[in-house]
Amino acid sequence: MPREISLELEARETEWAFAPDRSLRGFGFNGSVPGPLIEAETGDTLRVRLTNSLPQPTTIHWHGLRVPADMDGTAPVQPCDAFEYVFVVPDAATFWYHSHVNETEQLERGLYGAFVARGPGEPRLDGERVLLLDDLKLDPGGELAPFGDDHELHEGREGDVLLVNGRREPELEIAAGQVERWRVVNAANTRFARLSIGGRPFSILGTDGGLVPAPVETSEILLTPGERADLAVGPFAEGEVLEIETLPYDRGRGEPRRDSFATLRVGPAAPSQAELPGSLRQIEPLAGAEEAPTRTISMKALMHGGHDQRDEPVPVGALQLWDLVNETSQDHPFHLHGFFFQVVAENGEPPALLAWKDTVNVPRKQQVRIAWLPDDRPGEWMYHCHILEHHAMGMMARFEVVP
């Protein structure tokens, strides 16, 4: 039975203790960083009342959720004002919600949270946890470094303090012998996470838009800002200590290096009921790699186009094949609001994995073709680079979905 879930979220200033001995002036939903975990099932109706108690406008964007255009959370809610978001949860996946005003500062200060939507036929593992990855850029005095100089807007904001669920390098524990579902979200402004769990194998179960056709075994996964992955992690042996880290990745800026997000300790054994099915979900391909694109989006033009860019309208029901071309010298994670897409080609080649996505990295000097079908949710939508500083610089465009 679909339920109705009502929630109050207040955006307010908060003392954010990101480490046992360290805190800073954060912004938190209900005073916590990250904000409360929202859990729902497909078909549930969500009613979220946002009250803005910050001294600046804010809003909630439901990243990845296929909500109606006027619930997408791009219209600011003024200080002392409130807004009620109402929508039905259409898909099962790991989503997240975050401010969509002055994001470079508001997300760095903590205005984000995870949103887990479950559906029928989820794989049964021994446990589940959400890991929101982030980082903080501090000045030498330990306060947040100032925001948004030209250098930072161009390079993006990356900090040296790595966070999981709002805490600096926490210690996590898993029972020996068990396999858990980890829902990982990259909530950082700019930092790319090339995630490794002590170099050990794990399975990818899902991406931005939910389960993939079958588990994919690997020992690392690249998550750019905005992207999510569901992983099956374990089993390990009692006493093992593994580093959850990001391996060096060259996004065209900065020195690629290895950094630790957290430590995973393997505790005493517990019985396992985990069953990883050989197939998880059927996904029909929207298009083949050889079909001609309907639109080309140049990352370079987008980057230099400024804040008032408008792209051509998109008619409901008309298959979209967009070539995302990155002529610049750095990678850009491209995010489409409100709709899932499939990657149909990477530099002309079919991709390794068929999956539903809402954010995809377009590596420098490369191109990615995506396919998506605008379902019947007309209105104003947007796409942008999810490096928040690039978005702030105007690396975005609005377009209309027309009936």
User: Exposure of 336 by Cβ count < 10 A (0-12 exposed, 13-18 middle, 19+ buried)?
Assistant: buried
Residue among 202 and 383 whose Cβ is closer to ligand C2O: 383
Site for Cu ion in 326-345 (CB under 5 A): 332
Answer with the entry of Cu ion, ligand C2O, none that 332 interacts with (C-beta below 5 to 8 A by kind). Answer: Cu ion
Q: How many residues bind ligand C2O (CB under 6 A)?
A: 9
337 interacts with ligand C2O by CB under 6 A:
yes
Residue 387 binding result from ligand C2O, Cu ion, none, given CB thresholds of 5 to 8 Å by partner type:
Cu ion
Q: Is 114 in the site for Cu ion (CB under 5 A)?
A: no
Binding to ligand C2O by CB under 6 A, coded x per residue (else -) over 295-334, reads ----------------------------------------
Q: Which is nearer to Cu ion, 382 or 385 (CB)?
A: 385
Q: What is the length of the chain?
A: 403
Pairwise CA distance, residues 330 & 326, whole Å:
8
Is residue 52 within 8 A of residue 82, CB to CB? The reply is yes
Q: How far is CA 152 from CA 190, 361, 389, in A?
A: 10, 20, 7
Q: How far is the CB of 80 from ligand C2O (least distance, A)?
A: 25
- Find the binder of Cu ion among 109, 168, 377, 390 (CB under 5 A): 390
The nearer residue to Cu ion, 191 or 390, going by C-beta atoms, is 390
The closest alpha carbon to 361, from 398, 330, 322, 315, belongs to 330
369 binds ligand C2O (CB under 6 A): no
Kindly tell me which residue out of 332, 335, 357, 390 binds ligand C2O, with binding defined by CB under 6 A: 335
Please state, in angstroms and rounded to a whole number, the distance separating the CA atoms of residues 335 and 318.
Answer: 20
Residue 401 C-beta-side C-alpha neighbours within 13 Å: 24
Type and span of the H or E element at 94: strand 93-98
Question: Which C-beta is closer to ligand C2O: that of 130 or that of 264?
Answer: 130
Should residue 153 be labelled a site residue for Cu ion when binding is judged by CB under 5 A? no
Q: Name the nearest CA neighbour of 186 among 19, 69, 34.
A: 34
Shortest distance, position 98 Cβ to ligand C2O, whole Å: 6
Partner in contact with 390, chosen from ligand C2O, Cu ion, none, beta carbon below 5 to 8 Å by kind: Cu ion
Helices (H), 55-112: 103-108
Q: How far is the CB of 36 from ligand C2O (least distance, A)?
A: 18
C-alpha count within 13 angstroms, C-beta hemisphere, residue 51: 10
Q: Which of 71, 325, 370, 385 binds Cu ion (CB under 5 A)?
A: 385
44-103: which residues touch ligand C2O (CB under 6 A)? 61, 63, 98, 100
What is the rounded CA–CA span in Å between residue 206 and residue 215? 8
226 binds ligand C2O (CB under 6 A): yes
Rg (C-alpha) for the chain, rounded Å, is: 20
- Cα–Cα distance list, 81 to 59, 67, 294, 398 (Å): 11, 22, 41, 25
For binding to ligand C2O (CB under 6 A), which residues are involved?
61, 63, 98, 100, 226, 335, 337, 384, 386
For binding to Cu ion (CB under 5 A), which residues are involved?
332, 385, 387, 390
